[in-house]
Amino acid sequence: MSGMSAMPPAAVAADPVETVATSRAPRQRRRSERSVLASVGLHATLVVATFCALFPIAWVMLSSIKPASEIRRSEIALFASPTLENYRTLLSDTDFPYWFLNSVIVAAFTMAFGIAMSATAGYALSRYNFPGKRGLMWTFLLTQMFPVAILIVPIYTIMANLGLIDTKASLVIAYLTVAVPFCTWMLRGYFDTIPRELDEAASLDGLGPFGIFWRIVLPLARPGIAVTAFYTFLTAWAEVAYAIAFMQSSRNYTLGAGLQQFVPQFSPRWELLTAGAVLVTLPAAIVFFFAQRHLVAGLTAGGTKG
């Protein structure tokens, strides 16, 4: 992130996506002289906020390396005979590896189909005026309001009729309905920031509409595509409601449906849950750090230009 902060404001303005994404050097406001007291206050507030942000993550990580007997004690201890036993049990004695693999497959397919569909639709919405365009845009926004409650039963019955209940395909399809409208909206905002002159120049060189999309615009939109990839991945990775409703045998569960099995109402096994939580978060966090720079830029570019 720091690498981007030297970008001059003019260049930033030409590329709104970067504007939002980077912490560019703040303008000189001549009120940077802050009293010592204000400075201490600022840092104190931020330290408290950072503590609140990090504490739950740190606590779960610390707990995951405590033996079960230590977790079930009422005194607080940061470390207590650290061990990787919980991870070993989780990976060898439970169905966790299956859930993890299922989640990877579901998330990968959701990502691939989601990108393909929202990129083409987003491009058409960005570049062409065609009958039905406005209606479509509103439809995409409207689908954001659909509660899972109204769609889940009809989609469940459709899947049951197709014999897809308890399969990964049913989840991929259901997640696409969640992710595609939002990603289309987001990518359209991103395509809008790529100058049309490029399309026109390519068109003069004899490229057809699909050629322009494939050879010119898509390569330029790589950061936008990265955000879409992240969003579709995380939608599938973190979804729970459909996963619990559709998946029925333990080995077919995804992480969202599986992990809750460790913490039934009575005698929860927090030692397994915390270890699982760490393993579930790790891939998401890695993907997140590659995409976060662009994430909100994509959101606001799409949102404010509607």
Contact region with other proteins (CB under 8 A), list: 27-35, 84-92, 93-101, 219-227? 27-35
Listed ranges 79-87, 89-97, 218-226, 239-247: which one lies at the site for other proteins (CB under 8 A): 239-247
Question: Under a CB-based contact definition with an 8 Å cutoff, are residues 64 and 271 in contact?
Answer: yes
Give me the 68-87 binding string for other proteins, x by CB under 8 A, dash otherwise.
---xxxxxx-----------
Cβ 88 to other proteins, closest distance in Å?
Answer: 20
**Contact pattern for other proteins over residues 107 through 126, marking x by CB under 8 A:** ---------xxx-xx-xxx-
Nearer to other proteins, 58 or 201 (CB): 58
CB of 13 to other proteins, least distance (A): 9
DSSP 170-231: HHHHHHHHHHHHHHHHHHHHHHHTS-HHHHHHHHHTT--HHHIIIIIIHHHTHHHHHHHHHH
> Closest separation between CB of residue 93 and other proteins, Å?
19
- DSSP 8-state code for residue 247: -
Instruction: Report, in Å, the least distance between residue 195 CB and other proteins.
Output: 19
Residue 154 engages other proteins in binding (rule: CB under 8 A): yes
Exposed/middle/buried for residue 128 (C-beta within 10 Å: 0-12, 13-18, 19+): exposed
| Alpha-carbon gap, residue 223 to 219, rounded angstroms | 9
- For the bound state, the minimum distance from the C-beta of residue 301 to other proteins, rounded and expressed in Å, comes to 10
**Helix ranges restricted to H, the chain:** 9-14, 16-21, 36-64, 68-71, 85-93, 96-127, 133-143, 148-161, 168-192, 196-204, 209-211, 218-220, 222-238, 241-246, 255-258, 270-304
Stretch that binds other proteins, among 93-101, 143-151, 191-199, 214-222 (CB under 8 A): 143-151
Question: Which member of 65, 115, 180, 225 binds other proteins (CB under 8 A)?
Answer: 180
Rule CB under 8 A: say whether 304 interacts with other proteins. Answer: yes
